[in-house]
């Protein structure tokens, strides 16, 4: 007899795991903070979306349909999360000798291509920040009308004293280092207060700038996620995700805005979920450190993107995961072995694979495939594997254990090849490793060798950018050709052709 385990998810708000109950029993509404598209996403960023994808696939496994919104931050994210510094998009555009719009288009395309390569499901809605400026202005006006905002020379600021329990999510000491200092912005009332709308300096025109009741300027970073999550998912929705760095500032400020907007203590989402960091030997992987690893860099080394997905799944999403070439190479070896086992123990089967392509996968579907076939009663061993797989996922997405259940199922002599293929189809719908379609040969990528060191690459990139800024396209092309010959890719224009591929640390 097979029994389903209730899905338990860890909630950063309560700091404990609890049984998940959606607002609408059939449709889970979730929002994920998307990337800031001023550069290529690094592998740490991509871990955040493998986590969200696993969450979504697990919800499907448990029988829920999902509406999933992911945003693209193409304006507003400053060089410091604590509301200081310059806009990352504008800075990147200056450095590249391009417009901020060109930079955003290029890295949005690259990000989407990376997600495809990682077999991450497309969200129901991609919401782009700059397409929602009027919504943001209306939301900010409402906050102002509700008395939780004040105008100063720098723009419209959020008054954090006006909401209950400001910072509860972060559990931060009021004087914690993550809080912006009051002296940094003239007229700011509390250290935690943050910009809702940043007015452009009077003598400066920005590329990304809009008219507003508070003068020409741009939205603060936190505003977009409050606005777009509520626009598409309602004032109260189920789950909001992001990396653990967002728990300290960005999501704290989103919650404050949501509360001021709805004039309630409601945080907006019932569950706030955060993935832990991908770290390397020097600490948290971050774009600002430079020389960070991208998916393109892995592929250039002959590592298939799905090996990186497997690496992510082999750790619990709330644990730190240490990245190294050794770790990802071991994941590639494991993936090759797994694909080899599948070919032997559960080979392709047109009827099952056709059925699999049509299924909305759930634990129920995993069991029903046996019931549907009158001649095939559910073998007890199959039910046992389904239960153990279900229990692992239901335990706050325990993918490391789910992977061991998959291995055990494939090795179980009590199951025939067809039963294994059916279970594999269901399990992999939750894991997303594309095991029905991937053959060993697909995983053997030809590594390319980059022959320039990082300094030489930076110098050539600098020359190319200077040449482009001076409209000397022959010189710009020559620099690009030299980089290309050395195995360094750059991306240009709207179509993804080239990607800057920095050296990896071994």
Q: In this structure, what are the phi and psi dihedrals at residue 409, rounded to the nearest 5 degrees?
A: -60, -45
The two three-digit tokens of residue 131, written as one number: 């397409």
278 touches, from ligand AMP, Zn ion, none (C-beta below 5 to 8 Å by class): ligand AMP
Q: How far is the CB of 89 from ligand AMP (least distance, A)?
A: 11
> Quick one: the chain helix, strand, coil %, rounded to 5?
45, 15, 40
Closest CA to 68 of 86, 55, 81: 55
Q: How far apart are CA 59 and CA 362, in angstroms?
A: 8
Would you count residue 48 as binding ligand AMP (CB under 6 A)? yes
Q: How far apart are CA 150 and CA 344, in angstroms?
A: 67
Q: How far apart are CA 157 and CA 151, in angstroms?
A: 6
Which residue has the CB atom at the shortest distance from ligand AMP? 243
59 touches, from ligand AMP, Zn ion, none (C-beta below 5 to 8 Å by class): none
Q: How far is the CB of 224 from Zn ion (least distance, A)?
A: 7
Task: Name residues contacting ligand AMP, limited to 52-81 (CB under 6 A).
Answer: 73
Residue span binding Zn ion (CB under 5 A) among the ranges 224-232, 267-275, 341-349, 420-428: 224-232
Question: Which one of 9, 30, 33, 339 is in contact with Zn ion (CB under 5 A)?
Answer: 33
Q: Are 22 and 411 in contact (CB under 8 A)?
A: no
Place of tokens 């389903």: 4
Helix, strand, or coil here: 27?
Answer: strand
* Contacts with ligand AMP, 222-251, as mask; x by CB under 6 A: --------------------xx-xx-----
Q: Are 118 and 306 in contact (CB under 8 A)?
A: yes
Would you count residue 225 as binding Zn ion (CB under 5 A)? yes
Type and span of the H or E element at 469: helix 454-469
Question: Which one of 11, 12, 45, 66 is in contact with ligand AMP (CB under 6 A)?
Answer: 45
Question: Which one of 13, 30, 33, 352 is in contact with ligand AMP (CB under 6 A)?
Answer: 33
Would you count residue 48 as binding Zn ion (CB under 5 A)? no
363 touches, from Zn ion, ligand AMP, none (C-beta below 5 to 8 Å by class): none
Helix, strand, or coil here: 132?
Answer: helix
Residue with smaller CB distance to Zn ion, 33 or 93: 33
Closest CA to 447 of 273, 231, 300: 300
Residue span binding Zn ion (CB under 5 A) among the ranges 98-106, 223-231, 286-294, 490-498: 223-231
Angle among Cα 43, 45, 47 to the nearest 5 degrees reads: 70
Residue with smaller CB distance to Zn ion, 225 or 260: 225
Q: How do 237-243 and 27-32 pair as beta strands?
A: parallel
Would you count residue 70 as binding Zn ion (CB under 5 A)? no
Residue with smaller CB distance to ligand AMP, 28 or 273: 273
Residue span binding Zn ion (CB under 5 A) among the ranges 14-22, 30-38, 128-136, 332-340: 30-38
Site size toward Zn ion (CB under 5 A) is 2
Residue with smaller CB distance to ligand AMP, 123 or 242: 242
45 touches, from Zn ion, ligand AMP, none (C-beta below 5 to 8 Å by class): ligand AMP
Q: Write out the E strands in 89-192.
A: 125-128, 149-152, 155-158
195 touches, from Zn ion, ligand AMP, none (C-beta below 5 to 8 Å by class): none
Number of CB atoms found within 10 A of residue 404's CB: 15
Would you count residue 35 as binding ligand AMP (CB under 6 A)? yes
225 touches, from Zn ion, ligand AMP, none (C-beta below 5 to 8 Å by class): Zn ion
Query: With 0-12 CB in 10 A as exposed, 13-18 as middle and 19+ as buried, what is 503?
Result: middle
Type and span of the H or E element at 341: helix 325-345
Question: Which one of 5, 146, 236, 284 is in contact with ligand AMP (CB under 6 A)?
Answer: 284
Where do contacts with Zn ion occur on this chain (CB under 5 A)?
33, 225
Where do contacts with ligand AMP occur on this chain (CB under 6 A)?
33, 35-36, 44-45, 47-48, 73, 242-243, 245-246, 275, 277-278, 284-286
């Amino acid at each position: 007899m097979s029994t389903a385990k209730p899905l338990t998810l860890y909630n950063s708000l309560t700091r404990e795991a609890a049984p998940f109950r959606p607002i609408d029993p059939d449709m889970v509404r979730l929002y994920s903070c998307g990337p800031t598209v001023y550069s290529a996403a690094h592998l740490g960023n991509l871990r955040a979306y493998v986590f969200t994808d696993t969450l979504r696939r697990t919800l499907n496994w448990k029988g829920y349909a999902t509406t999933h919104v992911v945003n693209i931050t193409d304006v507003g994210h400053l060089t410091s999360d604590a509301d200081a510094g310059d806009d990352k998009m504008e800075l990147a555009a200056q450095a590249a000798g391009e417009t901020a719009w060109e930079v955003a288009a290029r890295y949005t395309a690259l990000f989407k291509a990376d997600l495809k390569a990682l077999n991450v499901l497309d969200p129901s809605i991609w919401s782009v920040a700059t397409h929602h400026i009027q919504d943001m202005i209306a939301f900010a006006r409402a906050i102002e009308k509700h008395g939780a905002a004040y105008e100063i020379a720098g723009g419209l600021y959020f008054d954090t004293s006006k909401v209950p329990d400001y910072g509860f999510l972060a559990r931060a000491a009021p004087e914690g280092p993550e809080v912006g200092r009051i002296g940094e912005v003239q007229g700011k009332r509390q250290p935690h207060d943050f910009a809702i709308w940043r007015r452009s300096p009077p003598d400066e025109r920005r590329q990304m700038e809009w008219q507003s009741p508070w003068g020409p300027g741009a939205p603060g970073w936190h505003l977009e996620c409050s606005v777009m999550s509520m626009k598409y998912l309602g004032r109260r929705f189920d789950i909001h995700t992001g990396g653990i760095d967002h728990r300290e500032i960005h999501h704290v400020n989103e919650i404050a805005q949501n509360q001021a907007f709805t004039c309630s203590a409601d945080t907006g989402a019932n569950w706030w979920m955060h993935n832990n960091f991908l770290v390397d030997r020097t600490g948290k992987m971050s774009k600002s450190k430079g020389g960070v690893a991208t998916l393109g860099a892995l592929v250039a080394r002959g590592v298939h993107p799905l090996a990186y997905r497997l690496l992510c799944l082999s750790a619990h999403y709330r644990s730190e995961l240490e990245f190294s070439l050794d770790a990802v190479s071991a994941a590639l070896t494991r993936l090759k072995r797994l694909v080899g086992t599948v070919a032997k123990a559960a080979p392709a089967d047109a009827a099952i694979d056709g059925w699999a392509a049509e299924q909305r996968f759930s634990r129920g579907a995993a069991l029903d495939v046996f019931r549907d076939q009158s001649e095939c009663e559910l073998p007890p061993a199959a039910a046992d594997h389904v239960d153990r797989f279900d229990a692992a996922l239901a335990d706050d997405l325990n993918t490391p254990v789910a992977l061991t259940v998959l291995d055990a199922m494939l090795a179980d002599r009590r199951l025939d090849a067809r039963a294994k293929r059916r279970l594999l189809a269901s399990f992999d719908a939750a894991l997303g490793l594309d095991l029905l379609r991937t053959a060993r040969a697909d995983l053997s990528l030809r590594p390319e060798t980059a022959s320039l060191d990082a300094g030489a690459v930076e110098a050539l990139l600098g020359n190319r950018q200077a040449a482009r800024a001076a409209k000397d396209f022959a010189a710009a092309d020559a620099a690009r050709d030299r980089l290309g010959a050395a195995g360094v890719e750059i991306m240009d224009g709207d179509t993804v052709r080239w990607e800057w591929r920095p050296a990896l640390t071994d």
